[in-house]
Amino acid sequence: MYYGNPYCDYQENPGGTWSSNFKLVHHLEESDIDGGSGDIKDSTFYNNDGTTSSGMNGDDHVLGKIGYGMDFDGNGDYIDCGKDSSTAITDDFILCAWLKNRSR
């Protein structure tokens, strides 16, 4: 896997990792989950950081198969990414997410 290769000079520019076609990339690694502005950092140069809902806290930050994830319990938990023009859906798009149904 090439991403994170310490011998690759290009990786020293995190903003250069994603092309302008990527509008929002959240890795959910942040642990300061308190309903504050910009709790969830965007990895693209658009800076579409997300704000967690007031009902979310550090307990909602959970370990996943690869890295961390969020526990959305169905009681008003969400991440608000704002209404920046870069995230306006004007054409075909791809949404990618890993989900686990905890009720099973």
Exposure of 65 in the CB half-sphere (CA atoms within 13 A): 4
pLDDT at 32: 83
Domain residue ranges of the chain, discontinuous segments joined by +: 1-82
pLDDT computed for residue 2 by the predictor: 56
Q: Name the stretches of the chain with pLDDT < 70.
A: 1-16, 103-104
**pLDDT for the residue numbered 101:** 80
DSSP one-letter string for 59-100: GGEEE-SSSEEE---SSS--EE----GGG---S---------
Nearest to 42 by CA among 19, 23, 63: 23
3-state secondary structure of 14: helix
